[in-house]
Structure 1
Amino acid sequence: MRVIAGAFGGRSLKAPKGEGTRPTTDRVRESMMSAIASARGGFDGASVLDAFAGSGALGIEALSRGARCAHFYERAPEASRVLLENVRAMGLDPRCARVHRADILKDPPVRAQPSFDLVFLDPPYAFAATEALGVVAHLRSVGALAEDAIVVYEHAAGDEMQVDDAAKACDLSLARRKKYGDTVVDVLRTVRTEDAGTATERERHLS
């Protein structure tokens, strides 16, 4: 793997050994980053959460392209070690690249300054959409998610219905969906509280 563009463009990234993690391919990552840049007008100033970080490739790519800071969560010991090596290899300041050796489902962030406005979700495919997107719901409940946040969720093809239901329950709207073989990448946006209320009222009138 390598960093595709930005300050660290072309530099190599290590990947954890074994089948416990599933690194996002360079092709998918490039398409993903292009979609994010289009959705938010670039990466400058972004506050990033790489929730199931693995090698940290997604968060590091965002930092390379101008993100302000990134928090990486990874529970597996081997993956955490590789993640730290990648962060250090880029020469990233620990204050802007925070590595948390923790299970984000059991020990999620309770605060973020600034609030996260870009969230990467790339969990093992065995994780239910309600679990993965539940991280976003938690962030919102504790005030750690920006109102105009973008959530990028990588999941197995065929799980679209479950993802759509879970996203709706978390007040997330689908901005873009693209399939790459067995992988689907969704770009989701937070729905403002007043917009969610309007949508609910519209559905009531249509029922």
Structure 2
Amino acid sequence: MRKKTTQNKAISKPKDGFIRVISGQFRGRKLPVKNVEGLRPTTDRIKETVFNWLMQDTRDATVLDCFAGSGGLGFEALSRYAKSTTFIELDLSAAKQIEQNISTLKLENAQVKHTNSLTFLEQKNVNEPFDLVFVDPPFRKNLAQSSCNLLENNQWLSREALIYIEVETELAEFSPPSNWLLIKEKKAGQVLCRLYQRQVN
């Protein structure tokens, strides 16, 4: 009679993944992404929608990618000839992977700030303001509202800056600064995508 054997299966760590640049000078390039808890790269479908919205506004823009994670939005902007992109990412392994991808693409107009996005935005900006900002924070941590208020209050935005926000659909009542005009909106599953433009008073 055959004896039953018990196999001890090793618990495997989820593998790292990749993001794909969907258009521009790096179209089709796959960039490695670290498997970090809470990391939620923007899907190709949403990314395509967002950059269709931004089609006329990405080239030559100074870009800030808050809560960068995979860096997918910032790299897409660079592929479409943004002037520069600053990535902010708290997780060290994710930040290092963004730096490695910058090196792989031989980009000289991109930099990574390894810090908390809110801590970064709490400073008064004394450098060139940003024309395009991505705010795609981890879900259910109430980070979007504070981020947008800091962007507006601490001189991070150019006069008619565009701000893309990606949040969970439960935040439909999110209140932007009073001088931000909602110009595009889309729901995709549990994700709510909004594009605002700053209005000059």
Query: Is the structural similarity TM-score above 0.5?
Result: yes
Mind listing any 5+ residue stretches in structure 1 that lack a counterpart? 194-207
- Give the stretch that moved more between structures: 10-19 or 115-124: 10-19
Is 1:67 the counterpart of 2:82? The answer is: yes
Cα distance in 1 for residues equivalent to 2:42 and 2:187: 13
Query: Do the aligned partners of 2:184 and 2:196 also contact (CA within 8 Å) in 1?
Result: yes
Residue of structure 2 equivalent to 1:141: 153
State the identity as a percent. Answer: 32
- Give the stretch that moved more between structures: 48-57 or 109-118: 109-118
Relative to the length of structure 1, the TM-score reads: 0.82
Relative to the length of structure 2, the TM-score reads: 0.84
Cα distance in 1 for residues equivalent to 2:32 and 2:124: 30
SS at match of 1:126: coil
Match for 1:91 among 106, 109, 133? 106
String of CA shifts for 1:83-107, please: whole Å, max 9, x gaps.
11221111111xx201000101123
Give the deviation of 1:170 after TM superposition: 4.9
Structure number with the higher strand fraction is 2
Residue of structure 2 equivalent to 1:13: 31
How many aligned positions are there?
182
Cα distance in 2 for residues equivalent to 1:85 and 1:112: 28
SS at match of 1:148: strand
Residue of structure 2 equivalent to 1:31: 49
Q: State the one-letter code of the partner of 1:76.
A: D
SS at match of 1:106: helix
Query: Do the aligned partners of 1:3 and 1:9 also contact (CA within 8 Å) in 2?
Result: yes
Q: State the one-letter code of the partner of 1:121.
A: V
Query: Do the aligned partners of 1:49 and 1:59 also contact (CA within 8 Å) in 2?
Result: yes
Please tell me the root mean square deviation across aligned C-alpha atoms, in Å: 1.6
- Give the stretch that moved more between structures: 118-127 or 10-19: 10-19
- Equivalences for 1:105-116 in 2 at 5 Å? 105-108=118-121, 110-111=124-125, 113-116=127-130
String of CA shifts for 1:137-190, please: whole Å, max 9, x gaps.
3233332311101100011112201x1xx21x4532211110111111101111
String of CA shifts for 1:17-47, please: whole Å, max 9, x gaps.
143210011111111111112xxx2411101
